[in-house]
Amino acid sequence: MIPPFSHLVRLARAGFVLAREGVFALVDPEPLPAAAQIGLKLARLLERPTSASGATRLSSALGRLGPSYVKLGQFLATRPDVVGQAIASDLENLQDKMPPFPQDQAEAAIERALGRPVHGMFTAFGPPLAAASVAQVHRAEIATPTGPRSVAVKVLRPGIEKDLRADIQAFFFAARLAERFSAEARRLRLEQVVATLARSVTVELDLRLEAAAASEMADNVADDPDFRVPRVEWDLTAHNVLTTEWIDGTPLSDRAALERRGLDLPALGRTVIQSFLRHAVRDGFFHADMHPGNLFVDDAGRLVAVDFGIMGRLTEKERRFLAEILYGFISRNYRRAAEVHFEAGYVPATQSIDEFTQAIRAIGEPIHNRSAEDISMAKLLTLLFEVTALFDMKTRPELLLLQKTMVVVEGVGRMLDPRLDMWTTAEPVVRAWLERHLGPAGRVEGAVEGVGEVGRFLGGMPGLLSRAARLSEQIDRATRDGILLAPETVAGIGEAEARRNRGTTVALWVIAVLLLLNLVR
């Protein structure tokens, strides 16, 4: 099938810009096939002379290519398994900052989305205060029974959806092409990488989804005394407009202001780490962009997060995996940490668990010979994923996003307290989750839920029997009207039904007995 010409044009333009900026100088030619090495040499002939560092070259090229490539760069910063640790570190410096678009365009977009004049919805509407590749933010005021209240209004850039979707289709084409010709590309699941990026961009292009993410997290943390989320103004939110409570707090990026307020910075650092772990392990839903610019301290001393465009989710299995892995390293139970990988299906059963335990010990033991402030939990996970690759562990995008977020969160915590003990800070959160879900109470609760499932199935049996009776009547009427079934056919149907009913009955009794035995234990 001939690919769309537009994909080739977009990719050719991107390749030219990357070559001119000298980005291909960052690529190691060693592992590439001969044909790719030749292509790399030809591309480097287009380089313009520059003394810029690799990070500057890459950031400059992606910025010139537009919002889609800025997002791609930010996303690839979370995937060192794809681009390598050095390039991923460079991409962390990529700033998602763009010139603002005109005020009249922003107001026109809001009016089209909400169907009312801007000054009919807001008593005041200020100029853009921050502009990124996808949207910009304005400060405004709304009237309430208690007086005017400040809100933040986020507006998508005009035409951004069309441009982003076109570029992502080109990324899909490039990923499919790479997987077709490269075994390494297939191992890294490049098409799945692009699909993950596409899902992330989809959330950012529909601000109602970001509002829903903020609302969900607000529900999750409603009882947390030290963390909160801005309230969403749903009446002033649409596909391309998001209105939330305005946060007047001090940004964590302004350490001097935090010190002037007399805040306990080490305690604040612990709050950042423990809040993130609670969200990931307890809730399975975490803010995946917790850099200092997205975190504030309000007047009550609580941590407040903003910008919910990039979120991470973990299933129950992944949360258990994370909790047991971290606790295994904390308690030096390397065998258990290894077993969890196999139980979760992350490492194939064909691998040796003894050899895998040995590999994990090689990562964990050096940690216990170093001081607390020298131990990086994020680096440990990075090393762990590198080791698991040797044991044919497939790439897990959700765990890599978690690991990358932990790098950022750990950096924020250590910025506030350079001597922060990550393990002492993490241990209460991880231990509480394990006790709650894997201790005696958790096992009883799981068994009760299993009995409930059987009960619901048995409760539905009268309905199944009723439908069977109606079907029997319909067959009887049909046969009276002239559709005849051969006696051997009727007998065959009866025998099949009898076997199926006996199998179902036996299976139900076995399940019920096993669950009851589990409860008794």
Name 435's Cβ contacts closer than 8 Å, sequence gap at least 6.
Answer: 441, 442
Strands 303-305 and 295-297 turn out to be antiparallel
- C-alpha distances in angstroms, 458 versus 486, 501, 509? 34, 13, 11
- C-alpha distances in angstroms, 488 versus 2, 220, 473? 56, 61, 20
List own/partner pairs for 9-13 with CB under 8 A and 24 or more apart: 10/166, 10/167, 10/170, 11/170, 11/173, 11/174, 13/65
Per the CB < 8 A criterion, the answer to whether 360 and 334 are in contact is: yes
What are the tokens at 124? 């005041």
What are the tokens at 502? 């006996």
Name 404's Cβ contacts closer than 8 Å, sequence gap at least 6.
Answer: 77, 78, 79, 80, 288
- What is the CB neighbour count within 10 angstroms for residue 119? 11
State the Cα–Cα distance between residues 323 and 277, nearest whole angstrom.
9
- The catalytic residue among 81, 167, 289, 307 is 289
The SS3 of residue 305 is strand
297 burial type by CB count under 10 A (0-12 exposed, 13-18 middle, 19+ buried):
buried
What are the tokens at 505? 């009955």
State the Cα–Cα distance between residues 213 and 217, nearest whole angstrom.
6
State the Cα–Cα distance between residues 189 and 109, nearest whole angstrom.
38
Cα 104-109-110 angle, rounded to 5 deg: 100
The SS3 of residue 345 is coil
State the Cα–Cα distance between residues 101 and 232, nearest whole angstrom.
24
- Give yes or no: 289 in active site: yes
State the Cα–Cα distance between residues 12 and 19, nearest whole angstrom.
10
Q: List the catalytic residues.
A: 289
